[in-house]
A = this chain, B = another copy of it.
Amino acid sequence: MKKPTAPASKSQPRGPLDHDVRTQIVEAAEEYFSHYGYEKTTVSDLAKAIGFSKAYIYKFFDSKQAIGEVICSGRLSMIMRAVDEATATVPNASERLRRMFSALVEAGSDLFFHDRKLYDLAAAAAGGSWPSARAHEDHVRQLIAQIIVEGRKLGEFERKTPLDETVNAILLVMRPYVNPLLLQHNLDFAAKATVQLSSLILRSLAP
């Protein structure tokens, strides 16, 4: 494990250097978690691996979960960037909804297969309703809402059902493939499922 540069001394004011130390801790922790897993690692293990004292780490983070949160947020942001890229240039709302769903599942599966230990961290976050996981679900909800509003404006989608209900029901359909805690049980057929479920959702949106 790469050893970070020497920590800031206590007498220094908080500032850019503190920010650097936080980043160093998070990066080292991400590497460590991805090798040994989040659940099995203690803050003492981390401190030893990074070469900081445990007390020093606690100056920057209240708990192991607080470090996990930063890592998790980072990974979930990467997933959302992949989704944004997959849907950005698509002009029609139906196709955007399809691509959004498949990109979410693809990025999630990717994390599962390529970084299983960090996936487990994301699953713990989802299972424990950590703020990072709730923020991710909110982000997905907002994206669905945007697409529905756009599709209603374009005349692609029906407008009778209250917007909130439509958005929430679609989120419920997607949730087993978006929430890492659930996706792991659905990976075998996730790709095929998203196609069929997108079609069902689009039939439900027909004007």
Residues of A within 8 A of B (CB): 127, 158, 161, 165-166, 168-170, 172-173, 175-176, 179, 181-182, 185-186, 193, 196-197, 199-201, 203-206
Give the docked Cα–Cα distance between A150 and B169 (Å). Answer: 25
Give the residues in chain B near A206, CB-CB below 8 Å. Answer: 206
Do B127 and A199 touch across chains, with their CB atoms under 8 A apart? Answer: no
**A176 in contact with B165 given A170-B200, A203-B204, A204-B203 (CB within 8 Å):** no
Give the residues in chain B near A168, CB-CB below 8 Å. Answer: 196
Give the docked Cα–Cα distance between A170 and B203 (Å). Answer: 12
Give the docked Cα–Cα distance between A54 and B169 (Å). Answer: 51
Give the docked Cα–Cα distance between A120 and B1 (Å). Answer: 40
Do A196 and B165 touch across chains, with their CB atoms under 8 A apart? Answer: yes
Give the residues in chain B near A165, CB-CB below 8 Å. Answer: 196, 199
CB distance from A164 to the nearest CB of B (A): 10
Do A196 and B176 touch across chains, with their CB atoms under 8 A apart? Answer: no
What would be 20 A-B contacts, judged by CB atoms less than 8 Å apart? Answer: A158-B203, A161-B199, A161-B203, A165-B199, A166-B200, A169-B196, A169-B200, A172-B197, A173-B173, A175-B176, A176-B176, A176-B182, A182-B182, A182-B185, A200-B201, A201-B204, A203-B203, A203-B204, A203-B205, A206-B206
